[in-house]
Amino acid sequence: MSEAATNDPSRGRLVLRVVLLVLLLAVAAVLAVRAVRQVRTLAAVDEVCEAVGAADYDAAVEASGEMERLFAASLKRSSDAASRLVECRCAALSARGEELQCRREVAELLLDEHGVGWAPQRPLLVTGVDQLLADERPREAWRAIQRARQASGSPDLLRELELVARLRFEPEEVARQVTAARQRGEALPPEIVYTVVAESLSGSRPEEAIELLGPAPGAEASAEVVDRWYALRSGAEAQRGSLQGVVGALDAWRRRGLGEEEYRARLGLLAGNWWLTSSERQIELLTAALPGEERLEDPDLAVLVRSRLVRILASQGQLERALRLYDDSIERHGRLVGLDREELVRLRLESRDERAGERATSSATLVVDGLRGGDRLRLSPPPGAAADAELSELVARGSSLVVERPAGERPLWWLVRDAENRIVGRGTVWLTPGARSTVVLERRDQAASAPHTEPAVPARPTAGDGRRRVVLVLLDSADWRIVRYLLAADEVPVLARLLELGTRAVMLSDPPYTAAALAKLISPGADTFGLVELFHQLGQEVEALDFVGRNPVSFLEALLPGNQNLFEVVGAGERQALNLLQAVGAVSEERNATLIGPGGERRVQGGLQGTRQLTAEEIAAIPGLERDLESDSGRHLGEAAGELDNVLAVLRGGEVDLIAARVASLDLVTHATFGPLAEEGQHDGDLALLRFYRYLDLRLGEVLRAIDADDLLVVASDHGARTSFEHDEESLFVAVGPGLAGGGRVEEDLSIDGMGWWIARALGFERDWPRGGFESLAGAAAAELSRGGAEPSDG
């Protein structure tokens, strides 16, 4: 049977047919799948572009979500499809204000392995190459151009950009080639030469630029080429510091058609921007360029001249004139470059501050208008009052209040509440000695600034567990006067509660900078000082900068006398001490997050974070905070959030006896945003710095909830802030704990020198360290400790 079947020719043909049919079906299936995929890909591209066409940019971006995969798939279909996809996605991203994202994506696609053989349209190609150059990736830019040339078969594609790229990584070779070509008499297109010259200038090689330009533009050169040549030549002369050379080039240009107004504008700008003459002469030259500016062909020139003139007037202290010119410029041109009015106002305030000594004692008059009977005006305490003094209060009987007081050296913050206790205005005014300053209140509905959800403030810590823990939250740069201003506005309810529950003081930190304060706190027993210690402290100061991150001279620690520090003392016995004072947003760095104890054992506390995004609830709790998230303050808020999360996580873990943490970001925010708080005007509390304090207050509420009645909570600062660039010796100090009088105040200023001694004592460790006036607090805290539970052994 089987032999018969094998030899049956019809059966053999049948098998062959079946095999062929199967093969055909398989090929058809593959083709069908490919066709479906192709259609799907093209449909996906169409979807992206149609969404753009319908101005639904979010949908377009979403549809092109996995860009790299879709790009690779579309490229398999056709180069055009890929280009179309990229163009449409870029259009959508740009429409959403994410142009940089578009540029970066194009740049990456130009280098993508899938993109070999892909040559986008010129605008797209220029976009990508430009971005690579902007990102300082000139070699990759050059490679992208080569790939595009190969793919498009156009050997001259983007010659200028290629030169720009090459100039970045082989400038001398390019300049040599161009110079040699010119010497051989080769007629290089002017745009090539000028591109190279411009790069020479951007690399501060003016001599090379002048050599490349040659002695003069050709007699036959077009007006455009002549203008470009002289613009570059005069720029090169300015860059090499020759006012005479600039004048020579501009004179020659004038003979070839440069208008008188443009001559004066360019001369003033070059002399000013390149500092070719004295400040006074620069002001003369720039001022001479103003008449006839409306006849300038390029209106930007007038804007640049005015911008430069305002800037130099300001830097020379002619602030009133600078401000007048600024206002006039905005009226005429609508803008100036790199300047804003607030900045000039601030500088004017600063210049007033130079007369601070005179202002401290000279009497001034403040008139507040726009009041109603029953309004209560609250003002910063007068000069000489303690840093933690409450705002003074006056009740209006009519529409005005007149206040006589010393002018003082600080801005005067004011706040008005109506008869129903609603805040109707807040602001800043500077008093002038012997003069009358007037505030005209613009009544506002302040309900808008109230939190959407009023955070619950704990009444008091929960019942004690018989064990003492100490929690120190050091708010870097927190200032008593700002806190008092916020307290007057009821915007820091947790700090208000801490003042009710605990004892406050003005703590002096001298010299008022962080590293010195931390050194005193961490190593209270240190009794030596010299250059090596100073350099080490300065290293600590700069480690707060995020690109430094660690003390660059930490190796000096090998020489520093080994003073036993607070954490080592506490962690030597049965207790544990955690140092988060040096965790500037990067908890993994060496000393940051070092946990000592029990038995002196050292390790890095795990499970901590450097920064995090704010939650929706946190953002909702403080009106306006969402705007800060989009600025530099956003990152600082994230750092503060992470740092306070760490405190809470460790507190809730329950094992650590001493937790000392610093919120370093408040210092950077203070430096960056104190200015508007010192600026004259009605701000109504809508300021980033005040919101940052409010956020910290919100989080302190969580800390207060996490401690119990046997714990000691200290909220303090390492220094205060007089202005955005001036630290203050007077620092914040509030402590809540057993034996500390509620609503109490230490009458004599404390010194930060004694805080380490006091904290050690509160945990049962007596050390011969400086006390800094803390004795009056220490007795009570130690007595409570002995009542609370087992005495810790002193290691």
Continuous segment of H or E residues that includes residue 150: helix 138-152
Per CB under 8 A, the list member of 238, 457, 495, 714 interacting with another protein is 238
Contacts (CB under 8 A) with another protein, residues 75-134: none
Nearer to another protein, 254 or 355 (CB): 355
8-state DSSP, 170: -
Q: Which residues pair with 406 in a beta bridge?
A: 363
25 binds another protein (CB under 8 A): no
Question: DSSP labels for 610-667?
Answer: S--PPPHHHHHHSTTHHHHHTSHHHHHHHHHHHHHHHHHHHHHH---SEEEEEETHHH
527 binds another protein (CB under 8 A): yes
Question: DSSP labels for 309-326?
Answer: HHHHHHHTT-HHHHHHHH
- For residue 538, give the nearest of 548, 525, 547, 528 by alpha carbon: 548
Terminal-to-terminal C-alpha distance of the chain: 100
Stretch that binds another protein, among 7-15, 33-41, 97-105, 550-558 (CB under 8 A): 550-558
635 binds another protein (CB under 8 A): yes
Cβ contact 698:494 at 8 Å? yes
Nearer to another protein, 42 or 243 (CB): 243
Kindly state the smallest distance separating residue 523's Cβ from another protein, in Å. 12
Kindly state the smallest distance separating residue 182's Cβ from another protein, in Å. 23
- Give the x-and-dash track for 551-570 against another protein (CB under 8 A): -x----xxxxxx--------
Three-state SS at 218: coil
136 binds another protein (CB under 8 A): yes
321 binds another protein (CB under 8 A): no
Question: What whole-number distance in Å separates Cα of residue 738 and Cα of residue 718?
Answer: 24
206 binds another protein (CB under 8 A): yes
Question: What whole-number distance in Å separates Cα of residue 556 and Cα of residue 563?
Answer: 14
Per CB under 8 A, the list member of 37, 448, 490, 725 interacting with another protein is 725
Whether a cis peptide bond, with omega within 30° of 0, leads into 552 is no
The phi-psi region of residue 460 (left if phi > 0; otherwise alpha if psi is between -120 and 50; otherwise beta) is beta
Cβ contact 140:100 at 8 Å? no
Cβ contact 577:570 at 8 Å? yes
Per CB under 8 A, the list member of 57, 142, 274, 567 interacting with another protein is 274
Number of residues engaging another protein in binding (CB under 8 A): 68
675 binds another protein (CB under 8 A): yes
Q: Among all chains, which residue has been given the structure tokens 């010659």?
A: 159
- For residue 720, give the nearest of 763, 670, 768, 650 by alpha carbon: 670
Beta strands per DSSP E along 342-461:
363-369, 376-379, 392-395, 400-406, 412-417, 423-429, 436-440
Stretch that binds another protein, among 365-373, 547-555, 612-620, 644-652 (CB under 8 A): 547-555
351 binds another protein (CB under 8 A): yes
Kindly state the smallest distance separating residue 180's Cβ from another protein, in Å. 24
Q: Amino acid identity, residue 552?
A: P
668 binds another protein (CB under 8 A): yes
Q: Find the DSSP H helices in 256-335.
A: 260-273, 279-288, 299-315, 319-333
169 binds another protein (CB under 8 A): no
Q: Amino acid identity, residue 557?
A: E
Q: What are phi and psi of 614, to 5 degrees?
A: -70, 150
Stretch that binds another protein, among 121-129, 233-241, 425-433, 565-573 (CB under 8 A): 233-241
Stretch that binds another protein, among 62-70, 156-164, 198-206, 610-618 (CB under 8 A): 198-206
Kindly state the smallest distance separating residue 515's Cβ from another protein, in Å. 10
- Give the x-and-dash track for 385-424 against another protein (CB under 8 A): ----------------------------------------
171 binds another protein (CB under 8 A): no
Stretch that binds another protein, among 33-41, 117-125, 716-724, 735-743 (CB under 8 A): 716-724
726 binds another protein (CB under 8 A): yes
Question: What whole-number distance in Å separates Cα of residue 165 and Cα of residue 592?
Answer: 43
Question: What whole-number distance in Å separates Cα of residue 346 and Cα of residue 111?
Answer: 47
Question: What whole-number distance in Å separates Cα of residue 618 and Cα of residue 257?
Answer: 63
Kindly state the smallest distance separating residue 514's Cβ from another protein, in Å. 10
Radius of gyration of the chain (CA): 35
320 binds another protein (CB under 8 A): no
Nearer to another protein, 291 or 338 (CB): 338
Nearer to another protein, 165 or 721 (CB): 721
Q: Among all chains, which residue has been given the structure tokens 């010129």?
A: 122
CA distances from 460 to 409, 494, 498 (A): 38, 11, 9
211 binds another protein (CB under 8 A): no
Kindly state the smallest distance separating residue 275's Cβ from another protein, in Å. 4
Beta strands per DSSP E along 327-422:
363-369, 376-379, 392-395, 400-406, 412-417
Kindly state the smallest distance separating residue 329's Cβ from another protein, in Å. 16
Per CB under 8 A, the list member of 306, 727, 761, 771 interacting with another protein is 727
Per CB under 8 A, the list member of 56, 227, 343, 465 interacting with another protein is 343
338 binds another protein (CB under 8 A): yes
Question: What whole-number distance in Å separates Cα of residue 489 and Cα of residue 692?
Answer: 15
653 binds another protein (CB under 8 A): no
CA distances from 652 to 273, 451, 645, 705 (A): 58, 27, 10, 10
Kindly state the smallest distance separating residue 183's Cβ from another protein, in Å. 25
Per CB under 8 A, the list member of 240, 333, 355, 372 interacting with another protein is 240
Which tokens go with 587? 């908890």
Kindly state the smallest distance separating residue 347's Cβ from another protein, in Å. 6
Cβ contact 125:161 at 8 Å? no
683 binds another protein (CB under 8 A): no
Burial group, residue 791, by CB count within 10 angstroms (0-12, 13-18, 19+): exposed
Kindly state the smallest distance separating residue 204's Cβ from another protein, in Å. 4
Stretch that binds another protein, among 211-219, 404-412, 534-542, 690-698 (CB under 8 A): 534-542
Per CB under 8 A, the list member of 380, 449, 582, 723 interacting with another protein is 723
244 binds another protein (CB under 8 A): no
Kindly state the smallest distance separating residue 641's Cβ from another protein, in Å. 16
Kindly state the smallest distance separating residue 601's Cβ from another protein, in Å. 14
Nearer to another protein, 172 or 791 (CB): 172
Question: What whole-number distance in Å separates Cα of residue 199 and Cα of residue 214?
Answer: 16
- Give the x-and-dash track for 458-497 against another protein (CB under 8 A): ----------------------------------------
Kindly state the smallest distance separating residue 268's Cβ from another protein, in Å. 14
Question: What whole-number distance in Å separates Cα of residue 720 and Cα of residue 478?
Answer: 5
Three-state SS at 437: strand
Per CB under 8 A, the list member of 50, 112, 350, 574 interacting with another protein is 350
Q: What are phi and psi of 779, to 5 degrees?
A: -55, -50
- For residue 112, give the nearest of 174, 157, 48, 68 by alpha carbon: 68
Q: Which residues pair with 378 in a beta bridge?
A: 393, 415
Kindly state the smallest distance separating residue 721's Cβ from another protein, in Å. 11
Kindly state the smallest distance separating residue 338's Cβ from another protein, in Å. 7
Kindly state the smallest distance separating residue 557's Cβ from another protein, in Å. 7
Interface residue list for another protein (CB under 8 A)? 136, 202-204, 206, 238-242, 273-276, 278-279, 311, 315-317, 338, 340, 343, 346-347, 349-351, 353-354, 511, 513, 526-534, 538, 541, 545-548, 550, 552, 557-562, 632, 635-636, 668, 671-672, 675, 722-727
